[in-house]
Structure 1
């Protein structure tokens, strides 16, 4: 993770903390990224179209900077769900609202928009599309309305998929594969979380809190709405 963050700094990507090494107790030390991180329930500024487009552009800049990163030979990554495609980059893989720092859109003020990504603990080799799908899972969102944050329940998920893909610059081939990739990810994510819940207390708590059921509901919602969503992507 620190090697990735040092590479991002060298590449001129400003939207991530800087790795400073470890302290005398062996704890990781990173720079503090000033700004606002949305809490729960989500504030209105976190779900605007302007914020979604800015997030897509931020993720694209991160992906472009990460594309030239060569992991150290002994690099070990967090195990996680994937779709089986050959990795293209080291992705963030956890771009949830709690891992995005917002700042005003201009020096003099303006609406709060995504400025930086934090918490790279789940970073690992994946495709760009996989990281896009993982992000849209939370921000479109690709989820059953019953599991969405209150301010997300009336959002048009299909229109937001289109807005994000346009702002990111996602190509036609990946747009056609987006929903298929999301479906595959749901299946893999369910299996990974279930297995980790059997061995790790933190994952066990998330599983007991209904993580598996939410994934199943999201997959069912995607199946029921696939045609309508696909129309926004062609």
Structure 2
């Protein structure tokens, strides 16, 4: 489907790696990538099963950009507002993520979702097997709130096969402050990040077996992120290169250090 005769384009800012995103009326237009066809099938599935917490894919425009409906609401920009560390807001994100992951169960893990080859030197992932596809990038910038409650996730570009433990590890990275203290956003300065992690895991409804994996999976993700970020910076440039130049690789190494040191205490808190 191609649409013409559009209203003016309004640039949308705030993403780290996707340039050229604009709002046109009640729609968003984004450049397509090699992964776009797979992401479109994910969004079509979510619409089919009645999940209302994601944008709908509406086709392509005359410039061959993807068309998504614009999800109105409150989204964090940088620097993060203090409400990113609000307990109730975080709990609402965990509950929305659980609804998303439940909605994706019938989708399974299609062949098109298979991850590419690991970057040279990257260790193999640790954790339970992948059983469904999830968002895997639930940052404050990718979460839309209405009346203080998480309403929708946007930007599904990193959606991929995962497990309950991995999708929750991504949640805790962004909404529980599971970073090295030197890199933790100031909004989490007064938050007990282990306790916040337990609260979000409770809200998601993660079972004990999966909880036992979360600290180790979080460490595994950090161990592999350095290689994947370096690879994307070298291959794709743009925002990936900007983040690398800004020191994201060093921050990832510090996150590894913190997660390795805190494995026992984080696990004890999650299992309380």
Alignment of 1:93-172 (within 5 A): 93-104=136-147, 112-172=148-208
What does the per-residue CA deviation read over 1:173-227, in whole Å, with 9 as the maximum and x for residues that have no partner?
Answer: 1111110101111111111112222222122221111111111111111222233
Q: 1:30-64 CA deviation, whole Å, 9 max, x = no partner?
A: 00101010112222222111111111100000000
Q: Distance in 2 between matches of 1:52 and 1:150?
A: 16
**Using the alignment, how far apart are the partners of 1:11 and 1:44 within structure 2?**
34
Counterpart CA distance in 1 for 2:73 and 2:228 is 33
Matched, 1:69 2:114: no
Q: Distance in 1 between matches of 2:194 and 2:268?
A: 8
1:36 maps to which of 74, 85, 96: 74
Structure 2 unmatched runs, 5+: 1-38
User: Structure 1: which 5+ residue stretches go unaligned?
Assistant: 105-111
Name the counterpart of 1:89: 132
Deviation (angstroms), 1:75: 5.6
Task: Supply the RMSD in Å over aligned alpha carbons.
Answer: 2.0
Which of 51, 54, 59 pairs up with 2:97?
A: 59
The 1-side partners of 2:42 and 2:115 are apart by 11
Query: The residue matched to 1:33 in structure 2 has which SS?
Result: coil
Which protein shows a greater Rg?
2
* 3-state SS of paired residue (1:67): helix
Equivalent residues of 1:95, 1:117 under 8 A apart = yes
Task: Report if aligned partners of 1:78, 1:123 keep a CA contact under 8 Å in 2.
Answer: no
Higher alpha-carbon deviation: 200-209 or 158-167: 200-209
The normalised TM-score by structure 2 is 0.78
CA shift at 1:135, angstroms?
1.8
Specify the alignment match of 1:208 in structure 2: 245
Cα distance per residue 1:55-76 (max 9 Å; x no partner):
1100000000011115666567
Deviates more, 1:150-159 or 1:56-65: 150-159
What does residue 88 of structure 2 align with? 50
Equivalent residue in structure 1 for 2:226, among 190, 193, 214: 190
Q: 1:199 aligns with which of 235, 239, 248?
A: 235
SS of 1:114's equivalent in the other structure is strand
For structure 1, which segment, 212-221 or 76-85, has the greater mean C-alpha deviation from structure 2 after superposition?
A: 76-85
Moved over 4 A (4+): 70-82
TM-score in terms of structure 1 length: 0.90
Check 1:78–1:26 CA distance in 2 against 1; reply closer, same or farther (3 A cut).
farther
